[in-house]
Amino acid sequence: MAASSRAQVLRLYRALLRESQRFSGYNYRTYAIRRIRDAFRENKNIKDSEEIEELVNKAKANLEIIHRQVTIGQLYSTEKLVIESPGNT
Amino acid sequence: MDPRVLDSMLPYLMSYYGNPHSRTHAYGWESEAAMEKARQQVADLIGADHREIIFTSGATESNNMAIKGVARFYKSRKKHIITTQTEHKCVLDSCRSLETEGFRVTYLPVKRNGLIDLKELEAALQPDTSLVSVMTVNNEIGVKQPIHDIGEICRAHKVFFHTDAAQAVGKIPMDVNDMKIDLMSISGHKIYGPKGVGAIYVRRRPRVRLEPLQSGGGQERGLRSGTVPTPLAVGLGAACEVAQQEMEYDHKRISQLAERLVTKIMNEVPDVVMNGDREHRYPGCINLSFAYVEGESLLMALKDVALSSGSACTSASLEPSYVLRAIGTDEDLAHSSIRFGIGRFTTEEEVDYTVQKCIHHVKRLREMSPLWEMVQDGIDLKSIKWTQH
């Protein structure tokens, strides 16, 4: 199995962020985006291909979790929080 | 709840609906497998063996089981229990009910910083003490007790050590062997898991025996009969696993946000007291007293933020918090206290918004307060005679 290329990892990163933007819940949305950015930044210098493969698999699994939870969130969405109204931050 | 936790639970709320105790069909087997996986996840978080984890309906039940269970089992030879004055209501209440059964209970006082005095603990131990119960992190002021030291003392005197770790598990590293803990209460909804589930850790070596509270079919090693709620147990397990992975990241972030909140408020507003030791604490639970401001009015003004002036379990009562009273807070300052909770999902924006609103309303309420006016004029409030005769 070919090792994950830089392009692949970046594609995964963008897919994760794009999916996370769709969370209707403020706290989940902000957490997911923040956590994904920080996790990718933290691991950006990993060189060992096995480790990279493991991380990529974890990221793929998380992408699926996010996708499912985003969908559920949209089915059961509620009002926006006070902190989300413009001019309140 | 953390989305990862909900995700792990959903299949067990929908398709995998088997009873984990049904031994004769696949539905039961897959539920049982999920339950046992969850048990291992809980055990891994605290350094225990999976056989030492019993699922309960929450930390309240776990606390009841630990305190009443141990006391009653050893009652023929041991009639004394030690706990602290700042424990959760369910611990204090369990002790009170034991007193009506003829047990003696010592409620250790705490120092001004909220910590117990280890020498007082040692002095309180008696030949017939069966249990010491001290919570790891206090839910109202966030103070962290010296669990390692307490464990040492209890082990040396061969007394069982129980800790209500509801606010600590998954947030700070906990190891039952390192800390010489014999019983531990765990709460699901404190670590972004579902409400209605918790666990109790019961040590096997040396064996801790307890009299079960709930009789029935003998589930959970006979200690807690009743069908284990698979989806909830799975949720608790997932919450524990996520917490273990995220502990360092969360702790660093929450500490930064807590520092931000406290510094910003204290720089802008004078006469604010932080209740509880500055150092020995969990950063995500901050209790501040705003002098010359009535706590409930401040809370009403801040109603679009989820804050409290005590804790959920005491919010119905009008009395100021017994925890604050135990650390020696003046009556008026106790009425002016607000608890700020910062967690995994708290954003910097939310902290800034809360700080801004808090500062604004504290200033506004103080402007309206005749007490504040007097203080500004240099009058010492303690010297005032409030009645004529």
A72 lies within 8 A of chain B by CB: yes
Residue A65 to residue B249, Cβ atoms within 8 A: no
A77 lies within 8 A of chain B by CB: no
Q: Which of B90, B240, B285, B313 is catalytic?
A: B313
Sort out which chain B residues have CB atoms less than 8 A from A65's CB and list them.
Answer: 3-4, 7
Nearest to A28 among B3, B349, B352 (CB): B3
The answer on pLDDT for A81 being more than 90 is: no
A89 lies within 8 A of chain B by CB: yes
A88 lies within 8 A of chain B by CB: yes
pLDDT in tens, B69-103: 999 999 999 999 999 999 999 999 999 999 999 99
Residues 6 or more apart in contact with residue A48 via CB below 8 angstroms: none
Residue A89 to residue B349, Cβ atoms within 8 A: yes
DSSP letter for B368, please.
T
Distance, CA of B218 to CA of B199 (rounded, Å): 16
Helices (H) and strands (E) in chain B, counts: 12, 10
Residues 31-50 in A contacting B (C-alpha not used; CB under 8 Å): 31-32, 35, 38
A vs B, Cβ pairs < 8 A, gives: 33
The answer on pLDDT for A85 being more than 90 is: no
The answer on pLDDT for A88 being more than 80 is: no
- Overall pTM > 0.95: no
Q: What is the pLDDT of residue B28?
A: 85
> Under DSSP, is residue B281 helix (H, G, I), strand (E, B) or coil?
strand
Confidence label for A89 from pLDDT (cuts 50, 70 and 90): very low
Distance, CA of B236 to CA of A85 (rounded, Å): 34
- In A, minimum Cα distance to B302 occurs at A82
Q: What is the pLDDT of residue B319?
A: 73
Q: From the CA of B150, how many Å to the nearest CA of chain A?
A: 36
Beta-carbon neighbour count of residue B25 at 10 Å? 10
Helix (H) or strand (E) holding A49: helix A49-75
Tell me if ipTM is over 0.90: yes
Helix (H) or strand (E) holding B150: helix B147-156
On whether the CB atoms of residues B195 and B235 are closer than 8 A, the answer is: no
* Ranges of chain B whose pLDDT falls below 50: none
The answer on pLDDT for A83 being more than 90 is: no
User: Is B90 in the active site?
Assistant: no
Distance, CA of B352 to CA of B363 (rounded, Å): 17
Q: What is the pLDDT of residue B267?
A: 96
Q: What is the pLDDT of residue A1?
A: 41
Q: What is the pLDDT of residue B335?
A: 85
Average pLDDT of chain A is: 90
On whether the CB atoms of residues B333 and B291 are closer than 8 A, the answer is: yes
Residue A28 to residue B7, Cβ atoms within 8 A: no
Q: What is the pLDDT of residue B24?
A: 86
